[in-house]
Amino acid sequence: MTITSSPDEICTSLTELLDASGVPVDRVEITGAASVGATRSTLFIDIHAGATITAAVAQLAAPRDRQELLGPVDEAAVLRLARAAGAPVPPVLAAIEAAPATGAATAIVGFIGGESIPRRIIRATEEFGTGNDLAADLGTALAHLHSIPIDDLPESIGRVDPADIHSAYSDERAVALDELGEPLPAVRLGVHWLRKNLPTPPSRTAIVHGDLRNGNILVEDGRLTSLLDWEICHAGDPMEDLAWLCMRTWRFGNDDLEVGGFGSLMSLRSAYESAGGEWRDDAFHWWLVARAVWWATGLSRQAGAFLSGEADSIVLAASGRRVVELEYDLLRLIS
């Protein structure tokens, strides 16, 4: 999202939102900005209340810009549940679908320190010797997240039948591929494999983060401090999160370390199971294939948006070259 409001308008809006949410505030000061993502702008702010200054993070997006993404109010509800369950996430300070003054969908959370750039995370774990510890941190965090009862989730997050998750996902991938209009034969072969190799269903559905990977975590001194970017969380098979975290595309060249290029699969799995998670080997492999199909289709769609003139982002233009990487991974996974 491109912020069209002035910094003063944004500060006024955030101040009013915090005050309405019961957070002590006299004024808000913008101290910096993170890299602007495809759907949101992230601002670092200081909340001034008398002599007290509280560091926080504000995220702004066009109201209901993309209907498939979780709105800030529902996302805040999920964050509160995750925090209560023991997952490392920031405290929610305020959330609204349309903020005063700016009209932006806005969420404000407490600031948590840490590094989010993948290659710096890998270097940090090498420096501190904590790669397997970080993998274990993630396994424990996911087990806590997946323990949240589905009935506690906001009603806007649709429920799914455990027995139908995999066949329905396969059908969705086939439809998405047809709508893309590109042949992508390796990806279509991946969809065929998904339909022919349905795994055992989970004993129950869980809240799935949907995009937990190296790049969507905060790490300090080589250890996990927070899980980031919850906008595509949904109800589903918990093994989807574990597989996405371990895809080769998120290892950044360290292919021998399956978890984010920094840790071992055994460390992740052992911690996940020790914290109460249920691991299913066939579902883990199935989701590696399924999310490779999903990501290859998504990257191709992004590149198509640039080529058609729908968008002018160089990031979307560069997405096209990565499709072949996912096709290569798919062929290796299903061979």
In the three-class reduction of DSSP (H, G, I as helix; E, B as strand; rest coil), residue 265 is classed as helix
In this structure, the answer to whether residues 162 and 218 fall within a common structural domain is yes
Alpha carbon distances (Å) from 332 to 29, 221, 288: 50, 35, 11
- Structural domain span for residue 90: 7-110
Q: How many residues does the chain have?
A: 335
Do the domain assignments include residue 155? Answer: yes
In this structure, the answer to whether residues 73 and 153 fall within a common structural domain is no
Q: Phi then psi for 86, rounded to 5 degrees?
A: 105, 5
Do the domain assignments include residue 2? Answer: no
Of 110, 131, 146, the residue at which a domain comes to its end is 110
In this structure, the answer to whether residues 213 and 243 fall within a common structural domain is yes
Please enumerate in sequence order all residues whose Cβ is within 8 A of that of 174, keeping only pairs 6 or more positions apart, or say none.
191, 195
**What are 40-65's pLDDT values in tens digits?**
789 999 999 999 999 999 999 876 55
Token code pair at residue 248 = 């080769």
In this structure, the answer to whether residues 241 and 292 fall within a common structural domain is yes
CATH number at residue 177: 3.90.1200.10
Token code pair at residue 127 = 């420096």
Regions of the chain short of the pLDDT cut 70: 1-3, 35-39, 63-68
In this structure, the answer to whether residues 289 and 175 fall within a common structural domain is yes
Do the domain assignments include residue 223? Answer: yes
Is the Cβ–Cβ distance between 150 and 159 less than 8 Å?
Answer: yes
Helix (H) or strand (E) holding 93: strand 92-96
In this structure, the answer to whether residues 123 and 206 fall within a common structural domain is yes
Count of the separate structural domains present in the chain: 2
As a whole number of angstroms, the distance between CA 262 and CA 250 comes to 10
The whole-model pTM stands at 0.94
The predicted pLDDT at position 95 comes to 97
In this structure, the answer to whether residues 43 and 154 fall within a common structural domain is no
Share of the chain above pLDDT 70, in %: 96
Other CB atoms within a 10 A radius of the CB of residue 167 amount to 13
The predicted pLDDT at position 70 comes to 86
Residue with tokens 């926080």, as numbered in its chain: 56
In this structure, the answer to whether residues 233 and 330 fall within a common structural domain is yes
As a whole number of angstroms, the distance between CA 153 and CA 109 comes to 19
**What are 142-151's pLDDT values in tens digits?**
999 999 999 9
Helix (H) or strand (E) holding 173: helix 165-180
Token code pair at residue 192 = 């065929």
In this structure, the answer to whether residues 123 and 95 fall within a common structural domain is no
The predicted pLDDT at position 1 comes to 46
